Amino acid sequence: MGHIGGTDPAALRAYMQSGLGGFILMGGNIPATEEELRTLTAALTVDPALPPLIAVDQEGGIVSRLPWDTFPASTTLKSRPVAETSAAFAARGALVARAGITVDFGTVADVPADPGSFIFGRALGTDPESAADRTVAATTAQEHFVASTLKHFPGHGAAPGDSHHVIPSTGMTKAAWRETDAVPFAAGIDAGASVLMYGHLVYTAVDSRPASLSAEWHRIAREELGFDGVAVTDDLGMLLSSGDPAYADPVANGVAAVAAGNDLVLMIAGSTAQTATDMAAGITAAVDAGTLPAERLEDAATRVLTLRGGALVRAEPGGEEGGAEGGATVRETTLAPDVLGLALRRLDAYRFDVPRRQVVRGGLHVEQPDVARQLERVQQQLSGNERAELHRPLVQVHAGVQAAGLFEEGLILSRQRRPVARHRLRSEEPEGVEVRAAEIV
| Residues near 116 by beta carbon (within 8 Å), at least 6 away in sequence | none
Give the total residue count for the chain.
441
In a domain, 316, yes or no: no
Instruction: Flag whether pLDDT at 342 surpasses 60.
Output: no
Task: For residues 80 and 342, give the distance between their C-alpha atoms in angstroms, rounded to a whole number.
Answer: 44
Nearest to 112 by CA among 83, 142, 151, 84: 151
Q: Is the pTM of this model over 0.85?
A: no
Nearest to 58 by CA among 129, 119, 107, 7: 107
* 256 and 354 co-located in one domain: no
Strand 58-60 and strand 63-64: the pairing is antiparallel
The H or E element that residue 60 is part of is strand 58-60
Instruction: Flag whether pLDDT at 123 surpasses 90.
Output: yes
Task: For residues 307 and 102, give the distance between their C-alpha atoms in angstroms, rounded to a whole number.
Answer: 9
8-state DSSP, 223: I
What DSSP assignment string belongs to 87-115? HHHHHHHHHHHHTT--EEEEEE------T
* 274 and 334 co-located in one domain: no
* 57 and 141 co-located in one domain: yes
pLDDT score at 375: 37
Report residue 206 CA to chain centroid gap: 25
Domain boundary among 292, 321, 345: 292
* 253 and 342 co-located in one domain: no
Instruction: Flag whether pLDDT at 431 surpasses 60.
Output: no
In a domain, 320, yes or no: no
Instruction: Flag whether pLDDT at 334 surpasses 90.
Output: no
Let me know: does 266 contact 250? Beta carbons within 8 Å. no
In a domain, 308, yes or no: no
Nearest to 24 by CA among 191, 252, 266, 212: 266
Helix or strand or coil: residue 47?
Answer: coil
SS3 content of the chain, % helix, strand, coil (to 5): 40, 20, 45
Task: State the pLDDT confidence band at 405, using cuts at 50, 70 and 90.
Answer: very low
CATH number at residue 181: 3.20.20.300
pLDDT score at 311: 64
* 233 and 345 co-located in one domain: no
Instruction: Flag whether pLDDT at 425 surpasses 90.
Output: no
Express each pLDDT in 24-39 by its tens digit.
999 999 999 999 999 9
Nearest to 350 by CA among 316, 305, 387: 305
E strand residue ranges, 204-324? 230-233
User: Strand pairing partners for 333?
Assistant: 437
In a domain, 317, yes or no: no
User: Strand pairing partners for 396?
Assistant: 422
Instruction: Flag whether pLDDT at 246 surpasses 90.
Output: yes
* 13 and 130 co-located in one domain: yes
pLDDT score at 338: 35
Please, what is the average pLDDT of the chain? Answer: 76
Decide: residue 118, CB within 10 A, 0-12 exposed, 13-18 middle, 19+ buried: middle
* 270 and 402 co-located in one domain: no
Instruction: Flag whether pLDDT at 280 surpasses 70.
Output: yes
Q: What is the mean pLDDT of residues 73-78?
A: 96
Domain that holds residue 337: 330-440
Q: What is the mean pLDDT of residues 312-329?
A: 37
Q: What is the mean pLDDT of residues 98-116?
A: 94
Domain boundary among 241, 270, 292: 292
Q: Considering the chain, what percentage of its residues have pLDDT values greater than 70? A: 70
E strand residue ranges, 355-409? 358-361, 394-396, 401-407
Q: Which active-site residues does the annotation give?
A: 164, 234
The b-or-e profile of 320-345 (16+ CB within 10 A means b, else e) is: eeebbeeebeeeeeebbbebbbbbbe
pLDDT score at 130: 96
pLDDT score at 100: 95
Task: State the pLDDT confidence band at 144, using cuts at 50, 70 and 90.
Answer: confident
Q: What is the rounded end-to-end Cα distance, in angstroms, of the chain?
A: 28
Helix or strand or coil: residue 332?
Answer: strand
Helix or strand or coil: residue 333?
Answer: strand
* 100 and 14 co-located in one domain: yes
Helix or strand or coil: residue 301?
Answer: helix
* 287 and 334 co-located in one domain: no
Give Dmax over CA atoms of the chain in angstroms: 66
* 31 and 169 co-located in one domain: yes
pLDDT score at 309: 78
For residue 176, report the phi and psi dihedrals to the nearest 5 degrees.
-65, -40
Alpha-carbon distance values, 227 to 116, 192, 194, 203, 394 (Å): 31, 9, 9, 20, 20
Task: For residues 176 and 180, give the distance between their C-alpha atoms in angstroms, rounded to a whole number.
Answer: 6
Q: Per the structure, how many domains does the chain have?
A: 2
* 265 and 346 co-located in one domain: no
Task: For residues 302 and 162, give the distance between their C-alpha atoms in angstroms, rounded to a whole number.
Answer: 33
Q: Considering the chain, what percentage of its residues have pLDDT values greater than 90? A: 62
Residue 190: other Cβ atoms inside 10 A: 18
pLDDT score at 312: 57
- In this structure, the dihedral spanned by the alpha carbons of residues 144, 257, 272 and 30, taken in order and rounded to 10 degrees, is 20
* 215 and 273 co-located in one domain: yes
In a domain, 88, yes or no: yes
Report residue 46 CA to chain centroid gap: 20
In a domain, 324, yes or no: no
Express each pLDDT in 367-389 by its tens digit.
333 333 433 444 444 434 433 33
Task: For residues 61 and 27, give the distance between their C-alpha atoms in angstroms, rounded to a whole number.
Answer: 14
